[in-house]
Amino acid sequence: MVHITQGDHNGRGMIISWVTSLNEDGSNVVTYWIASSDGSDNKSAIATTSSYRYFDYTSGYLHHAIIKELEYQTKYFYEFGTGRSTRQFNVMTPPKVGPDVPYTFGVIGDLGQTYASKQTLYNYMSNPKGQAVLFAGDLSYADDHPNHDQSKWDSYGRFVEPSTAYQPWIWAAGNHEIDYAQSIGETQPFKPYKNRYHVPYRASQNKYTPQNSWLQDEFKKVNRSETLWLIVLVHAPWYNINNYHYMEGESMRVTFEPWFVENKVDIVFAGHVHAYERSERVSNIQYNITDGMSTPVKDQNAPVYITIGDGGNIEGIANIFTDPQPSYSAFREASFGHTLLEIKNRTHAHYTWHRNKEDEAVIANSIWLKNRYYLPEEETT
């Protein structure tokens, strides 16, 4: 159960997380070195260690270590463990930020751990282009099992390890991470998720800040000469023409959408709805939920909204769309799959949605996206 995520703002740090059944001396230490070196430059980091109880379950020992001052675009080995239980992995660090540095993200949401989930994960892994994953929430679906069966968090960690141990996954939390169950005495929201999945909140210097204040502060920090593409992860989609979870994101959209348009956000990825959908560039900032008018209009300063909650979860596909298809919905399909976002330079990115089909991924939707800050022109499929 090993996973890594970005550990700082500039890409020279990573958070490495692993689980051990015993808390032996040395089990909380990770050693790392440049793969092309002779090993004499080994460095080490000491993890913070915790465990948690949930109903009748006690977790293993959860270790989280930050490794720092890594070289850009360099392959590293890292290992941890004691005695005969040492495990070794490798990771490629991201390139140094620059105006035209290419980088490719996989995007997955609502994955779970079913046969369809396995298709999604291994279809993504079979393509060598992906360098990191943006994850739009809903991981293990432990809460869909009796008493929020916490062993499902363990099996999920093992399931995704072939990818999460070798490249960063950037996590957003979904409703299935809440794990609030008053009936069994579990009233601390997000307890398993917060213990297992650490994120670089220190880099934002905004711990325990209300979300709207945090977001306003984050937008002020954005330097578009560094953050060329502005991408936002949410869980509940704001533009959704599926009957499942229809309008659930509306109050959030009304509050935050003007900021997204003002700051020229390029793409918003969401999960929650177990289907795929891509919007046109639209906004609805002239209206709100109470005035009876809710018609989105084309807006070249607005993001593309993409629902990618089709990872393969236990609850199945969401296959009831609104008909006729509204003009602001560019493409929709009730199938499992994943996305690749290939950032080419400051102006262009190639976006593809890969539908699961038997044992391979089939590109079913694609578009060349143009950056809202550097090239705010209309796109064509």
Active-site annotation, residues:
245
Torsion angle of the four alpha carbons 86, 87, 90, 93, in this order, in degrees rounded to the nearest 10: -80
Residues in the chain: 381
Q: Which of 93, 91, 123, 90 is nearest to 107 (CA)?
A: 123
Segment 121-128 long-range contacts (CB within 8 Å, at least 24 positions apart): 121/159, 121/160, 121/162, 121/163, 123/337, 123/338, 123/354, 123/356, 123/360, 123/361, 124/163, 124/338, 124/354, 124/361, 125/162, 125/163, 126/360, 126/361, 127/340, 127/354, 127/361
- Please give the backbone phi and psi of residue 296, each rounded to the nearest 5 degrees, phi first: -65, 150
Q: What is the C-alpha to C-alpha distance for residues 257 and 305, in angstroms, rounded to an integer?
A: 11
Q: Identify the residue whose tokens are 């959209």.
A: 253
Q: What is the C-alpha to C-alpha distance for residues 108 and 100, in angstroms, rounded to an integer?
A: 25
